[in-house]
């Protein structure tokens, strides 16, 4: 209260000095690492190499060079509910140029368009490989790394460019979804929920196509748990035939047919035929293929048959495989953390152009993995599992740390920051709202479920 009264009654210059004094005191007593800490996981050299490989590195000096734009796109994923201009200013990402003027929104959009999506895609690929390899031996299951593959969708703003490129879900009634959608398939590390790889694009493209892109990139000495929607001879045989010691685990479809070669009804070796359609599309497929069928009962009481390429029943017990299958739901939780917790809201993406959408997705995946990597490191120190730690609390801690670090990293910059703050406030003048140009309507969100209505009770 005393500080508040002093700020009320002292002149403007004295108030500025008082605020600077308080920030200096905060700096000395509240050390923060911020981008430097995250930069230890994401070296500047990786960003520069990704930009150089795609020919998008900045040559002339700009306030927003390509390296800073890459960090901005990653930060947009961490601060989804904050505008681009505010994120840029909050984290102090623009380089100084001797002027107190802030970078305009148009300047930010132009900087993002100069960089494009390819550098962020390369950066995600490099970081995902490096981060998933960190401490990997600590999470092996019987000598194998555990992965889950599943599909998801992202909603985008309803711009003509996004709708033409990505499309949207259609319904039997003839309606289409209110917003364009991006369909994708990801490969996620089950123990840490780190997203190792992802393929995405138009909504109308079948998930099988995206899964086929990821299959060659699955690491060796691994077990991949797949959703039954990926039950395909081309995918499953392709997974085990290439690479080194790669295996699959997938629930069998209800209409799947096979002949039992040996074993018991609970654990048997089976042989299945490859359909003529699959062989015509993939001539390299054999006529028949074998798998191990394990009958298990899920926690909800349903009976499920699991098919796996782990044929050694002594090393890989049926009960252990059934328990491993239940862990595949970690990928669903990772989607919830990414889309609801971190990105949030019904419109999970903010960009109006397909290239910017792709850039934004790659940046959000890197941001998500940064949070997950910090959780994995903390879990090892606490002798706990990374999935036991709260993602939302970790996200809030990192957001707070980045915000304070940007403010306190250089006390000598405080006067410039205050001056820039006042310049921004001058631009925040309230303007008269323009008249309504369209009817007051909102888009409906079509649902596959029936709507329950509540009526007043008759008197």
Token pair recorded at residue 246: 């790669």
pLDDT at position 364 is 96
Count of C-beta atoms within a 10 Å radius of residue 433: 6
> Which residues of the chain register pLDDT less than 50?
1-32, 410-412
pLDDT at position 54 is 81
396 and 343: one domain? Answer: no
- Give the CATH number, domain containing residue 225: 3.90.350.10
102 and 202: one domain? Answer: no
pLDDT at position 408 is 58
151 and 80: one domain? Answer: no
Residue 430 is assigned to a structural domain of this protein: no
Residues with Cβ < 8 Å from 274, sequence gap 6 or more?
233, 237, 285, 286, 287, 288, 289
Residue 452 is assigned to a structural domain of this protein: no
Residue 224 is assigned to a structural domain of this protein: yes
Residue 25 is assigned to a structural domain of this protein: no
CA distance 348 to 181: 10
Residues with Cβ < 8 Å from 251, sequence gap 6 or more?
227, 228, 231, 304, 305, 306, 307, 325
Residue 382 is assigned to a structural domain of this protein: no
Displacement of CA 8 from its chain's centroid (Å): 46
77 and 213: one domain? Answer: no
Domain count, the chain: 2
Q: Which of 332, 352, 372 is the last residue of a domain?
A: 352
Displacement of CA 348 from its chain's centroid (Å): 11
CB 103 within 8 A of CB 63: yes
Residue 133 is assigned to a structural domain of this protein: no
419 and 347: one domain? Answer: no
Residue 322 is assigned to a structural domain of this protein: yes
396 and 342: one domain? Answer: no
Q: Which of 96, 65, 131, 90 is nearest to 402 (CA)?
A: 90
95 and 197: one domain? Answer: no
Per the DSSP assignment, residues forming a β-bridge with 268 are: 263, 293
pLDDT at position 13 is 37
The pTM of the full predicted model, rounded to 2 decimals, is 0.83
253 and 305: one domain? Answer: yes
333 and 404: one domain? Answer: no
pLDDT at position 436 is 60
Residues with Cβ < 8 Å from 393, sequence gap 6 or more?
none
Token pair recorded at residue 178: 């209110």
174-182 LR contacts (CB < 8 Å, sep 24+): 175/446, 176/446, 177/446, 178/443, 178/444, 178/445, 178/446, 179/155, 179/346, 179/347, 179/443, 180/155, 180/156, 181/153, 181/154, 181/155, 181/156, 182/153, 182/154, 182/155, 182/156, 182/349, 182/357, 182/361
79 and 162: one domain? Answer: no
pLDDT at position 258 is 93
Residue 22 is assigned to a structural domain of this protein: no
pLDDT at position 27 is 41
DSSP H helices, 298-451, are 318-326, 330-336, 354-382, 391-408, 414-426
The 8-class DSSP code of residue 54 comes to T
Token pair recorded at residue 61: 């000096």
199 and 107: one domain? Answer: no
CA distance 114 to 97: 20
Range of the domain at 408: 31-115+390-424
Residues with Cβ < 8 Å from 139, sequence gap 6 or more?
145, 146, 189, 191, 192
413 and 325: one domain? Answer: no
CB 342 within 8 A of CB 364: yes
Q: Which of 305, 328, 352 is the last residue of a domain?
A: 352
Per the DSSP assignment, residues forming a β-bridge with 154 are: 182
pLDDT at position 20 is 43
Residues with Cβ < 8 Å from 291, sequence gap 6 or more?
236, 258, 269, 270, 272, 307, 308, 309
Residue whose tokens read 């086929």: 212
CA distance 53 to 118: 9
């Amino acid at each position: 209260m005393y500080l508040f009264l002093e700020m009320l009654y002292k002149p403007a210059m004295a108030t500025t000095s008082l605020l600077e004094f308080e920030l200096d005191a905060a700096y000395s007593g509240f050390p923060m690492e911020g981008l430097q800490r995250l930069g230890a996981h994401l070296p500047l050299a990786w960003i520069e190499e990704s930009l150089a490989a795609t020919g998008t590195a900045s040559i002339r000096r700009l306030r927003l060079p390509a390296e800073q734009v890459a960090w901005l796109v990653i930060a947009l994923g961490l601060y989804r509910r904050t505008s681009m201009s505010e994120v840029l200013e909050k984290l102090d990402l623009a380089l100084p140029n001797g002027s107190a003027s802030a970078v305009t929104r148009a300047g930010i959009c132009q900087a993002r368009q100069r960089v494009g999506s390819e550098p962020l895609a390369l950066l995600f690929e490099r970081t995902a490989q490096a981060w998933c390899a960190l401490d990997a031996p600590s999470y092996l299951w019987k000598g194998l790394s555990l992965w889950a593959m599943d599909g998801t969708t992202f909603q985008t703003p309803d711009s003509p460019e996004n709708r033409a490129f990505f499309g949207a879900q259609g319904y039997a009634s003839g309606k289409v979804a209110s917003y364009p959608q991006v369909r994708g398939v990801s490969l996620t590390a089950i123990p840490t929920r780190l997203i190792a790889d992802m393929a995405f694009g138009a909504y109308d493209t079948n998930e099988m196509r995206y899964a086929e892109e990821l299959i060659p990139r699955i690491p060796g000495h691994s077990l991949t748990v797949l959703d039954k929607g990926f039950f395909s001879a081309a995918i499953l045989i392709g997974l085990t035939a290439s690479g080194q010691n790669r295996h699959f685990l997938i629930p069998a479809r209800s209409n799947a047919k096979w002949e039992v070669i040996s074993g018991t009804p609970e654990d048997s070796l089976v042989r299945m035929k490859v359909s003529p359609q699959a062989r015509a599309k993939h001539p390299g497929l054999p006529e028949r293929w074998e798998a191990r069928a394990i009958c298990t009962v899920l926690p909800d009481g349903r009976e499920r048959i699991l098919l796996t390429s782990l044929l050694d029943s002594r090393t890989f017990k049926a009960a252990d495989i059934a328990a491993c299958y239940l862990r595949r739901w970690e990928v669903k939780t990772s989607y919830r953390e990414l889309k609801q917790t971190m990105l949030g809201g019904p419109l999970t993406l903010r960009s109006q152009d397909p290239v910017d959408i792709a850039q934004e997705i790659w940046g959000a995946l890197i941001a998500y993995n940064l949070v997950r990597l910090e959780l994995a490191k903390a879990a090892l120190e606490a002798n706990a599992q990374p999935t036991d730690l709260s993602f939302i609390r970790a996200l809030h801690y990192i957001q707070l740390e980045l915000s304070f670090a940007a403010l306190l990293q250089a006390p000598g910059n405080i006067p410039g920051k205050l001056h820039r703050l006042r310049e921004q406030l001058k631009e925040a003048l309230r303007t008269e709202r323009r008249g309504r140009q369209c009817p007051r309507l909102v888009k409906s969100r079509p649902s596959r479920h029936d709507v329950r209505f509540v009526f007043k009770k008759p008197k």
